Structure 1
Amino acid sequence: MRRTLAATAALSLALVVSACGSDSDTDAGASTPATSSAAPTSASPSASESAAASADIVDTAVAAGGFTTLATALEAAGLVETLKGEGPYTVFAPTDEAFTALPDGTLDDLLADPQGALTDVLTYHVVPGKVMAADVATMDGQEVETVNGEKLTIGVDGDTVTLTDTSGGEVTVTQTDIEATNGVIHVIDGVLVPKG
């Protein structure tokens, strides 16, 4: 599973880079879209989040609070060790409230199928590479491929960044650039659901 996810991540990264048409490299050696000085929906991380930059994505999310359901789901799907790996990864992290807003029974159904539907949904929230808020400032209308293999469409309207999933659902990025040792977390107000 871990090798498959890593191979998928590498392939997805190549597709993201070619789709975005960028040759720039990040600190970690992964390519990302052209950057801009604007940082849509950027929020300054709190002192605890800044200190968490010395932790991996999973530990950073747990320390930030508000991601208990996500942490439980990652553990159930066996993805904790993967997201503690080298990366870099960009994770769009739904809050506990976002999971609560799912239709009744949806979360229970996902948790009942950890290696199937749950893994599909969780890997749909991960993009290979470290993509900071400034990277998406000029990406309005562009698609990025997730580790899941499905695409997300980015919407940029002033300081508001949205992600539209292949099911037609739209979520808003509410906080950005929570850095971790192996990538970055952006907080979203909904759960992304792949069509497939």
Structure 2
Amino acid sequence: MNNPKMFLKIAAVAVMFAAPVSAQVAEPAPSDSAAVAPADAAPPAETAVAVDPNSVVGNVLATPELSTLAEAVKAAELVDDLSQPGPFTVFAPNNDAFARLGAGTMEQLLQPAAKEQLSGLISYFVVPGKLTQADVVAAIEAGGGKAEVKTVQGDTLTATLDEGLVKLTDGQGNASYITKSDVQASNGVVHVVNGIMVPAQG
């Protein structure tokens, strides 16, 4: 696996993310492999940076079910960072995942004063190198049923299989499932997940 420079801004996630596990756990959903966002979709007009629509961030910006993540990436000023050569693997929470956060949480995180906290959270969704779903499954099998992947944020996600679906457990024990896998990008790959992954506190 390549090890690109860890240039994303790293910050501790605020205590507001220490939500009960029940608020974060998402039920498994059928996997939809290779659900590629339209390559010719233009990024939102408010994005100042010229974005390659085929990059991981271009895919996020062009995918309707990832519009909340797209807004967060822009607020954290990470569009340019995620446009770099990488490669990157992005575990991208869908809009429903963000909707399950506590009331007002996203509104707070999108404020300029919370940019470092938001950047730290988003960097926990990103793994250096390109990992397809087949790569993740192979690592799980090689690890005797689980595999740990280190994120750009510095903490790890634990991948396991649950009835054939890839399950990701974060640092607080919250579970998310890959619902759309292997969205190929020019600088990596995107997997859509149905939960918010939060690093361990402290």
**1:30 is matched with which residue?**
none
TM-score (norm 1): 0.74
Helix, strand or coil for the counterpart of 2:73? Answer: helix
Rounded to whole Å, the distance in 2 between the matches of 1:77 and 1:114 is 8
- The residue type equivalent to 1:192 in the other structure is M
Residue 7 of structure 1 aligns with an amino acid whose one-letter code is K
SS of the residue corresponding to residue 80 of structure 2 reads helix
TM-score (norm 2): 0.72
Residue 121 (structure 2) aligns with: 121
Instruction: Using the TM superposition, give the Cα deviation of residue 51 of structure 1 relative to its aligned residue in structure 2, in angstroms.
Output: 6.9
The corresponding residue for 1:43 is 33
CA distance in 2, matches of 1:114, 1:79: 14
Identity %: 38
Give the C-alpha shift of residue 144 in structure 1. 0.8
- CA distance in 2 between counterparts of 1:137 and 1:50 reads 27
Provide the secondary structure at the position in 2 that maps to 1:93. Answer: strand
Who is 2:67 aligned against? 68
Kept in 2, the 8 Å contact 1:92–1:185? The answer is yes
Deviates more, 1:57-66 or 1:170-179: 57-66
- Equivalent pairs counted in the alignment come to 161
1:61–1:67 Cα contact (<8 Å) kept:
yes
Q: Could you list the runs of 5+ residues in structure 1 that have no partner in the other structure?
A: 1-5, 10-39
| Change over 3 Å in CA distance of 1:128–1:110 after alignment to 2 | same
Partner of 1:86: 85
- Given residue 119 of structure 1, which amino acid in structure 2 is its aligned partner? S
Deviations, residues 39-65 of structure 1 (Å, cap 9, x unaligned)? x9452425x547789711111122232
Gaps of 5+ in 2: 8-29, 42-51
Q: Residue 98 of structure 1: SS of its match in structure 2?
A: helix
Contact 1:41/1:133 (8 A) holds in 2: no
Q: Give matches, 1:2-21, under 5 Å.
A: 7-8=5-6
> CA-to-partner distance for each residue in 1:139-166, whole Å, 9 max, x for gaps?
1322111000011000113421110000
CA contact (8 A) 2:109 2:115 kept: no
Higher helix share: 1
Distance 1:122 1:132 in 2: 19
3-state SS, counterpart of residue 59 of structure 2: helix
Give the direction of change, closer, same or farther, for the CA distance of 1:100–1:134 in structure 2 (3 Å limit): same
Q: Determine whether 1:187 maps to 2:185.
A: no
Check conservation: 2:183, 2:191, Cα contact below 8 A. yes
Give how far 1:179 is off.
0.5
CA contact (8 A) 1:143 1:153 kept: yes
CA distance in 2, matches of 1:71, 1:162: 23
User: Which residue identity is paired with 1:116?
Assistant: E
RMSD: 2.4
| Deviation for aligned residue 1:81 | 0.3
How far 1:79 sits from its partner (Å)?
Answer: 0.5
Deviation readout 1:55-111 (Å, 9 max, x if unpaired)? 111111222321111111111111110111111000001111111111112212322
